[in-house]
Amino acid sequence: MDFRRRRTLSTRGAAAAAAAGLLFTGCSAGASDPTAASMPARAVPAALKPYYEQTLSWRACGDAGFECATLKAPLDYAKPGTGRDLRLAVSRKKAPGTGRRLGSLLVNPGGPGGSAIGYLQSYAAVGYPARVRARYDMVAMDPRGVAGSEPVTCLSDKQMDAFTQTDQTPDAPVETGRLVAAYKKFARGCATRSGKILGHVSTVESARDMDLLRAALGDKRLSYVGASYGTFLGAAYADLYPRRVGRLVLDGALDPALSAERMNRDQTAGFETAFTAFAKDCVRRDGCPLGTRTVAAARDRLGAFFARLDSHPVRTGESRKLGESLATMGVIAAMYDETAWPQLRTALRSAMRGDGGGLLNLADLYYERDTDGSYANLMYANPAVNCLDLPPAFRTPAQVEKAVPAFEKASPVFGETLAWAALNCAYWPVPPTGKPHPLHAKGAAPIVVVGTTRDPATPYPWARALATQLSSATLLTYEGDGHTAYGRGSRCVDTAINTYLLTGRPPARHKRCP
Active site residues: 228, 455, 483
β-sheet bridge partners, residue 70: 89
Which residues, 6 or more positions from 184, have their beta carbon under 8 angstroms from its beta carbon? 427
Alpha-carbon separation of residue 171 from 52, 72, 164, 388, 511 (angstroms): 54, 49, 18, 30, 47
Q: How far apart are CA 147 and CA 115, in angstroms?
A: 6
Q: Convert 382-397 to b/e letters by CB count within 10 Å (16 or more is b).
A: bbbbbbbbbbbbbeeb
Q: What are phi and psi of 463, to 5 degrees?
A: -65, -45
Residues 6+ apart with CB under 8 A from 71: 54, 56, 87, 88, 90, 141, 209, 212, 213, 216
- Contacts of residue 43, Cβ cutoff 8 Å, sequence gap at least 6: none
Cβ contact 231:451 at 8 Å = no
Q: Is 226 helix (H, G, I), strand (E, B) or coil?
A: strand
Cα–Cα distance measured from residue 252 to residue 462, given in angstroms and rounded to the nearest whole number: 8
CA–CA distance, 295 with 360 (Å, rounded to integer): 24
Compute how many other C-beta atoms are within 10 angstroms of the C-beta atom of residue 89: 22
- How do beta strands 136-141 and 222-227 pair? unpaired
Q: Is 159 exposed, middle or buried (0-12, 13-18, 19+ CB in 10 A)?
A: middle
- The dihedral through the CA atoms of 232, 234, 238, 241 has a sign that is positive
Task: Determine contact, residues 330/289, Cβ cutoff 8 Å.
Answer: no
CA distance 329 to 166: 12
Measure CA of the first residue to CA of the last residue in the chain; give whole Å. 26
Contact of 469 with 461, CB cutoff 8 Å? no
Say how far apart CA 273 and CA 337 lie, in whole Å.
13
Q: Single out the residue of 182, 183, 229 nearest to residue 382, CA to CA.
A: 229
User: What one-character DSSP code corresponds to residue 123?
Assistant: I
Burial call 252-284: b when 16+ CB within 10 Å, e when fewer? bbbbbbbbbbebbbbbbbbbbbbbbbbbebbbe
- Determine the 3-state secondary structure of 318 from DSSP: coil
